[in-house]
Structure 1
Amino acid sequence: MGDNQGRQLASKWAKTAILLSHSSIAPHIPPTRRFTANNLRSMLDTHQMVVVKPVVGAGGHGVIKVTRDGDGYTYTYYSQTKRFASFAALVGSLNNQRKGRAYIIQKGIYLATVDGRPIDYRVKYVKTDSGWVYRAIVGRIARKGLFVTNLCRGGTLVSAADGISRSLSSAQVGEKKRKMRELTVLSTNVLEAKYPGIGQLGFDYGIDKQGKIWIFEVNTRPQ
């Protein structure tokens, strides 16, 4: 019984919009808007810290953390941080980085950490001849100095249980893994109803410092 490569859906915006339509999933998705200067200003006014990322992309490429700090702004791309005195200068620099590509803006989440490094989780869910099965539930700890956790950017792979224990507490392991599985099944049902033929899904989850689980994105070609 082989894994089903399945239908591909590259647009992060399309997948996010579908999941936001479900009342039980929507509270677990950070507020997300298309990238425009007005939306960026509004999101920074509301949340102070946001993440902007390409609508189509993988491996953490192009993902930028933007913060409003007093009268100025900063953005962090990999380990490089730039500071801007004006919003116009910030937008100009972001537009240079985007190179005309479509981006989305997502509320920044203050993730629980391991030794001061953010950790998130990847759940790989695959359709086989006998139905959907889990292929992996793992944690990814960011390389020191980075906010992205991608393994191709130097992130460290750990078991989900180890990651939850070290970033929250061992008492929360069972509950958090159950909730990620529950959201995975529910989200898969919603996505499959809209896009019949999908066969592989990689869910990127974060758990914030208060223990809330967030869905950052869903990949139809998970690495």
Structure 2
Amino acid sequence: MRKVANKWVKFAVLQQHSGVAKHIPAMRRFSPENLEAMLRQHSFIVAKPIVGTGGNRVMKLYKAGSGFVLHHAGVKKTYGSMNELLQAIRRIGGNRALMLQQGIHLTTIDGRPVDYRVKLAKVGRNWEIRAVVGRLARPGLFVTNLCQGGTQLKGREAVRRTFPASIVRDKIATMIGVARTSTMLLEARYPGIGMLGYDFGIDKKGTVWIFEVNTKPH
């Protein structure tokens, strides 16, 4: 079964479809210039390895007064200059290539961010939806990964706890629709993939965003 570890190349495929692209947050490769530009444009941004899973080395970054805050592994630190921030990012990121993604203000349950995993598997010639689950971040963390202490919920239950019951079906259908279209695009580009896991978030206005695609979903 084919694996595609590089997040950047998967998003490059999805960006070419206008229906999917509108659900993709703004993204750039990590560089000092891109970091400065994105911190000016967005209330916060997320830096993460282009290759990597499990929420490891994922950082939340934002401006605070004349300084910058870096939130990683449940710890927030403030840095007085861009140089100090860059050093901290490189220390956490190691030698890995990083990408920057527009931060999305996710819906929360009891103050904890929640996102969604939609899993598809190829059975014969058809792709089947295997799961739609919600993932609730551990208190104090912004990443929702289960291996980082997140709690799994049924997808419908998670949406119902954050939005009126009347729109639960619509939000689930949007995520499944985007996942199905994305699967068609990725399979055309990478024949041989047999399993896909999509990470979605819904912001407080109800917009559905796609954060990540895994060809080896846990």
The Cα RMSD (Å) is 0.8
Aligned partner of 1:185 in structure 2 is 180
- Distance in structure 2 (CA, Å) of the matches to 1:154 and 1:106: 23
* Equivalence map 1:24-43=2 (5 Å): 24-43=19-38
Q: Deviations over 1:75-99 (max 9, x none)?
A: 1002111100111110111111122
2:15 to 20, 40, 50: 20
* Equivalence map 1:1-223=2 (5 Å): 6-223=1-218
Deviation at 1:69, TM superposition (A): 1.6
Deviation at 1:104, TM superposition (A): 0.3
- Distance in structure 2 (CA, Å) of the matches to 1:199 and 1:32: 26
TM-score, reference length from structure 2:
0.98
- Distance in structure 2 (CA, Å) of the matches to 1:136 and 1:176: 15
- Distance in structure 1 (CA, Å) of the matches to 2:50 and 2:120: 22
Aligned residues: 218
> Does the C-alpha gap of structure 1 residues 112 and 152 become closer, same or farther in structure 2, counting only changes over 3 Å?
same
Deviation at 1:191, TM superposition (A): 0.6
Structure 1: state its 5+ residue gaps: 1-5
Deviation at 1:130, TM superposition (A): 4.4
2:119 aligns to what SS in structure 1? Answer: strand
Q: Deviations over 1:56-88 (max 9, x none)?
A: 111100100001122110010021111001111
Instruction: Please say if residues 48 and 69 of structure 1, whose CA atoms lie closer than 8 Å, have aligned partners that are also in contact.
Output: no
TM-score, reference length from structure 1:
0.96
- Distance in structure 2 (CA, Å) of the matches to 1:215 and 1:69: 27
Which has the larger displacement, 73-82 or 92-101?
A: 92-101
Deviation at 1:169, TM superposition (A): 2.1
Structure 2: state its 5+ residue gaps: none
Which has the larger displacement, 57-66 or 166-175?
A: 166-175
- Distance in structure 1 (CA, Å) of the matches to 2:6 and 2:183: 16
- Once superposed, which parts of structure 1, at least 4 consecutive aligned residues long, lie more than 4 Å away? none
- Distance in structure 2 (CA, Å) of the matches to 1:168 and 1:67: 27
What fraction of aligned residue pairs are identical, expressed as a percent?
46
